[in-house]
């Protein structure tokens, strides 16, 4: 399995279409208790608003209700950082998936008192990328 961690994202490349990848990502998120609150089809939006062509690109706003409740109970301002974004886009014949690393928000909101919750969320989201990598389609 190959995982690529940047300072702000957990990444995995899936050697499959973005449509199939979207279903696999949603299934993996669901298994870790995350639901999709919002879905933005950037390709369709750019075509509609600007009449430009763009690659398949989706932004999912995901949330784990239990973790969100813990974080919001610690500090209401953490809502500014919710939901957690997941992006999927066409890349090199497959689909790149990147998930915002909750720990990276701590550089933004270190004083929010939610470090422990961010760590719990990160562990769950790492399991999502691992599950996707275990599909055997990682390049």
pLDDT tens track for 116-126? 888 888 899 99
pLDDT tens track for 25-70? 999 999 999 999 999 999 999 999 999 999 999 999 999 999 999 9
Residue with tokens 């932004």: 59
Q: Where are the domains of the chain?
A: 4-133
What's the CATH architecture for 4-133?
A: 2-Layer Sandwich (3.30)
pTM for the model: 0.84
3-state secondary structure of 13: strand
d(CA 133, CA 139): 9
């Amino acid at each position: 399995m190959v995982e690529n961690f940047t300072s702000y994202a957990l990444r995995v490349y899936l050697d499959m279409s973005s449509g199939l990848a979207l279903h696999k990502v949603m299934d993996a998120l669901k298994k870790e208790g995350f639901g999709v609150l919002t879905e933005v089809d950037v390709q369709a939006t750019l075509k509609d608003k600007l009449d430009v062509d763009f690659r398949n690109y989706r932004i999912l706003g995901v949330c784990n209700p239990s973790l969100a409740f813990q974080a919001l109970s610690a500090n209401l301002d953490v809502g500014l950082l919710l939901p957690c974004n997941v992006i999927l886009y066409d890349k090199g014949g497959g689909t790149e998936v990147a998930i915002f690393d909750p720990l990276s928000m701590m550089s933004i909101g270190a004083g929010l008192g939610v470090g422990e919750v961010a760590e719990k969320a990160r562990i769950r989201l790492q399991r999502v990328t691992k599950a996707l990598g275990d599909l055997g389609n990682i390049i």
